[in-house]
């Protein structure tokens, strides 16, 4: 089985290589198909940045429309968005592309999923470099079928450039972005065109910079494969962060219920599958979706998917930068119950309630020496008479493991920050035994805590 796949791959190299005109059907006029199209679950694009030429990663200038990327990955991301249904962000990013990046006009959009550390299999949708050379072939795309693809650039076929400007003149300098635009056209199912201006022309002329911008023939090709952009296709126009950890996606044509947001997955071991936050309603006008930012959402593009499996159910790709949202301050509230020893067990804290630091501690100094205690948390704030004091917690209550106050009536308790806590708010209060109290109970005041990435 493996051998058969490799044979097919080798054939694909010849057919898809940039000098592979031999496989172009002689009767072709304009765009042609390879015989498949990408399923909706295969819109991801990743890059293994093993490009070896220094010129391939010379661009260290970040681009606000492509947050988090520089070098070869930035050039390849730009190539992917050129096939998108509409302008990507401002459309800027290619000084040679007068009509902006995002020219496909079809019900088709790639989902940028950032970098990975492997060349991957032939259907894992990863672009990388391959050591060596093969005749006149600069790069090739394997298994461009419904279940995915892989693109390789031959290391010795050219000096590969990532610059937004044109590579220097001369036959040896080639443009990563332009060649990637061509290969991604194969990935989505297009064969070579014989239109000289087309990005899908089967022979590389010059550096490949002109391939960055789709020609009308390429646009007609992707629209023939996936359909011209539907009037009802969801569309992202803007993103807002009205409060820390809250993302509002504004646009058009969202579903009343069951919207998904597709984020770049920044988790360890991410496999290219978008990080999906599902089950989201939109507002009454179907123009806004609000969600809690997932902690593992990486910088990249966000897309909205409404129920369904056609390309018309997936929005344009919109630049997304999670940044470092400031963590809301911790707020103390309520009044401690005075102990039988006339002390006030007020809570304090140290560290930060963040997943990345996981050093958050809640403490007190005013309790009963050597008494048993339990830290309580709730999902809501409350104000209820309770055992001679006030319970300041409501909602789903939780007890942390029992502990013992020290010789001075103090304690410090580590509050672990699990991923599920990130983006949520919790309320804390300390309960402890007070043998001299009429109820036998001591109670602290309370803390309101937001947990952050």
Interface ranges with Zn ion (CB under 5 A): 16
Nearer to Zn ion, 75 or 417 (CB): 75
Positions of E strands within 402-452:
403-404, 411-414, 425-433, 441-450
DSSP state of 21: G
DSSP state of 406: -
Nearer to Zn ion, 16 or 79 (CB): 16
CB of 17 to Zn ion, least distance (A): 6
CB of 186 to Zn ion, least distance (A): 6
Alpha-carbon radius of gyration of the chain? 28
Residue 384: its H or E element: strand 380-386
Nearer to Zn ion, 193 or 313 (CB): 193
Q: What is the C-alpha to C-alpha distance for residues 393 and 414, in angstroms, rounded to an integer?
A: 19
Nearer to Zn ion, 16 or 446 (CB): 16
Nearer to Zn ion, 188 or 413 (CB): 188
Nearer to Zn ion, 201 or 312 (CB): 201
Please answer whether residues 356 and 341 qualify as being in contact, where contact means their C-beta atoms are separated by less than 8 angstroms: no
CB of 70 to Zn ion, least distance (A): 27
Which residue is closest to Zn ion by CB?
16
CB of 111 to Zn ion, least distance (A): 23
SS3 393: strand
Q: Sign of dihedral through CA atoms 214, 215, 220, 221?
A: negative
CB of 203 to Zn ion, least distance (A): 9
CB of 218 to Zn ion, least distance (A): 12
Q: What is the C-alpha to C-alpha distance for residues 394 and 333, in angstroms, rounded to an integer?
A: 14
Q: What is the C-alpha to C-alpha distance for residues 404 and 284, in angstroms, rounded to an integer?
A: 52
CB of 201 to Zn ion, least distance (A): 8
Q: What is the C-alpha to C-alpha distance for residues 151 and 142, in angstroms, rounded to an integer?
A: 6
122-147 b/e (C-beta count within 10 Å ≥ 16 → b) = bbbbbbbbbeeebeebbbbbbbbbee
Nearer to Zn ion, 182 or 229 (CB): 182
């Amino acid at each position: 089985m493996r051998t058969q796949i490799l044979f097919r791959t080798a054939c694909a190299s010849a057919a898809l290589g940039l000098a592979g005109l031999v496989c172009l059907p002689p009767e072709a006029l304009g765009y042609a198909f390879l015989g498949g199209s990408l399923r909706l679950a295969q819109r991801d694009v990743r890059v293994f940045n093993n490009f070896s030429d220094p010129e391939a990663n010379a661009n260290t200038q970040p681009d606000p429309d492509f947050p988090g990327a520089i070098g070869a990955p930035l050039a390849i991301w730009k190539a992917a968005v050129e096939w998108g249904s509409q302008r990507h962000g401002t459309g800027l990013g290619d000084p040679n592309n007068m009509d902006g990046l995002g020219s496909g006009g079809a019900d088709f959009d790639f989902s940028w999923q950032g970098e990975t550390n492997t060349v991957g299999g032939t259907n894992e949708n990863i672009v990388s470099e391959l050591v060596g050379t093969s005749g006149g072939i600069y790069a090739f795309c394997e298994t461009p079928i419904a279940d995915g693809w892989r693109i390789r650039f031959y290391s010795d076929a050219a000096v590969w450039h990532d610059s937004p400007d044109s590579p220097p003149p001369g036959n040896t300098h080639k443009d990563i972005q332009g060649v990637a635009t061509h290969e991604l056209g194969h990935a989505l199912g297009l064969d070579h065109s014989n239109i000289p201006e087309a990005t899908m022309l089967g022979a590389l002329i010059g550096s490949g910079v002109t391939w960055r911008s789709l020609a009308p023939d390429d646009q007609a090709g992707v629209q023939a494969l996936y359909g011209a952009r539907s009037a009802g296709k969801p569309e992202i126009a803007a993103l807002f962060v009205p409060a820390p950890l809250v993302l509002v996606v504004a646009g058009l044509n969202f579903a009343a219920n069951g919207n998904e947001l597709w984020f770049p997955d920044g988790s360890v071991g991410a496999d290219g599958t978008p990080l999906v936050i599902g089950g989201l309603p939109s507002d009454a006008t179907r123009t806004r979706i609000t969600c809690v930012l997932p902690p593992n959402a990486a910088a990249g593009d966000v897309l909205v998917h409404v129920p369904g499996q056609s390309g018309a159910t997936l929005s344009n790709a919109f630049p997304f930068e999670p940044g470092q949202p400031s963590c809301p301050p911790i707020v103390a509230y309520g009044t401690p119950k005075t102990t039988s020893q006339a002390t006030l067990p007020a809570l304090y804290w140290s560290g930060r309630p963040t997943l990345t630091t996981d050093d958050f501690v809640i403490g007190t100094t005013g309790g009963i020496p050597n008494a048993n205690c339990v830290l309580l948390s709730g999902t809501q704030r409350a104000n209820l008479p309770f055992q001679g004091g006030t319970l300041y917690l409501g909602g789903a209550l939780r007890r942390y493991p029992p502990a013992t106050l020290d010789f001075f009536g103090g304690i410090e308790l580590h509050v672990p920050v699990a991923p599920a806590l990130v983006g949520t708010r919790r309320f804390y209060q300390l309960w402890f035994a007070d043998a001299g109290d009429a109820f036998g109970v001591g109670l602290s005041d309370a803390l309101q805590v937001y947990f952050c990435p």
